[in-house]
Amino acid sequence: MTEMLIPLVDDWPFPLFNLTNSDDVVWANQAAQEWLGKSLLKLKDQNVWTIFETDPDTRSIALKARDKSGAITSRHISVKAFGAKGDGRLAHLTAYPTAVGTGLSIWFIGPEPRATKIGGQVVSGMGRMIAHELKNPLAGIKGAAQLLRDDVESTEGLALIELIGSEIDRIRRLADRMEKLGDDDPTGAERVNIHEILRQARRVIQSANPKVIFDERYDPSLPHVYGDPDTLMQALLNLIKNAAESAGQSGEIRLETSFRAGVRGGKSARLLPVQIRIIDNGPGIAKDMLAQIFQPFVTTKPEGQGLGLALVSKVAAAHEGLVEVQSVPGRTVFSLLLPAPNEASQ
């Protein structure tokens, strides 16, 4: 696994540093070297605060992270390479303890500083790694569920075991597909009834959140979509799960489908008439997070990994679709727009 992570970290399109406890540079990724215009050989053993400029308060961020043994982020900070002309760039700086010192990441706000596309290589690499880790325990889980079947007599209990079995099979198929998330087109594409997938996803999430109220409003006149049912299922599960966590135990979630005219997306600018919306009545998403909510490793959850919405964005792109978000306090709407079969075939 370590061998898989090394190229992901080095290819990460924003500067990353590993520092000693005295803030001297031990390692810097390629993006950091390009931004500063210096090789790792020249950066090594230099104090990080002498190679790029920022405000004095931010310079203590690494010390604070070490003292608290946790990640510390300074948002909307101006940074620029030491001695560079012009104004600095706005960025979020995050410091975090590592096994050998302190990590420091710089996330520029706005256009990406490198041509590498975020969510492409990174999410694809994470997909391969996660798929590898998922496959091993699935057989054991399914075997345990089959053993439980012999001890369960109630109809409700048997239905839950059936749900566990079907989800394990879906995850196994998904693991195979996640290894190909970087592909331009979805694997296993077929005509898909999006309403069946939404109902199945709702059942899965409701089984874990029985107090959440679901309101399903589907347009039966909508055509099927053309895509991979397993990856679409995972994308919708991620969106509904996020909505359930935002709404809380007594919250309300609306699942709805509708026809939306005039929207085009994907490399071939296809029409995207099939709209799926997941609406919750939670506290909403902060404005400064909305612009980057679909980027990998960006999360509003204290223990989140920031991969769920990045995966949703990747699945939407693989289907030549779009994913959008609108949020105000008390109402957050995620919209997944997909082409109809006749559009996908053009």
Which letter, b or e, does each residue of 292-328 get, where b requires 16 or more Cβ atoms within 10 Å of its Cβ? Answer: bbbbbbbbeeeeeebbbbbbbbbbbbbbbbbbebebe
The β-bridge partners of 258 are: 275
Average pLDDT, the chain: 79
The first and second tokens of residue 308, run together, are 């769920």
Question: Given pLDDT bands bounded at 50, 70 and 90, which one contains residue 342?
Answer: low
Distance between CA atoms of residues 127 and 120, nearest Å: 10
SS3 of 231-271: the string is: HHHHHHHHHHHHHHHHHCCCCEEEEEEEECCCCEECCCCEE
How many other C-beta atoms can be found within 10 angstroms of the C-beta atom of residue 181?
24
What's the CATH number for 2-108? 3.30.450.20
pTM equals: 0.52
Unique residue bearing structure tokens 């994470």: 126
Q: Which fold has domain 187-344?
A: Heat Shock Protein 90 (3.30.565)
How far out from the chain centre does Cα 178 lie? 13
- What are the tens digits of pLDDT across the range 114-126? 333 444 555 555 5
All structural domains of the chain with their residue ranges: 2-108, 117-182, 187-344
Question: Given pLDDT bands bounded at 50, 70 and 90, which one contains residue 218?
Answer: very high
- For residue 332, pLDDT over 90 is answered with yes
Q: Is 204 helix (H, G, I), strand (E, B) or coil?
A: helix
- For residue 339, pLDDT over 70 is answered with yes
Mean pLDDT of 165-174: 75
The first and second tokens of residue 306, run together, are 């920031």
List phi, psi (to 5°) of 226. -110, 115
Give the pLDDT score at 8.
52
Distance between CA atoms of residues 120 and 301, nearest Å: 23
- The top-scoring range by mean pLDDT among 32-46, 170-184, 284-298 is 32-46
Question: Given pLDDT bands bounded at 50, 70 and 90, which one contains residue 18?
Answer: very high
- For residue 338, pLDDT over 80 is answered with yes
Question: Given pLDDT bands bounded at 50, 70 and 90, which one contains residue 237?
Answer: very high
Q: Is 274 helix (H, G, I), strand (E, B) or coil?
A: strand
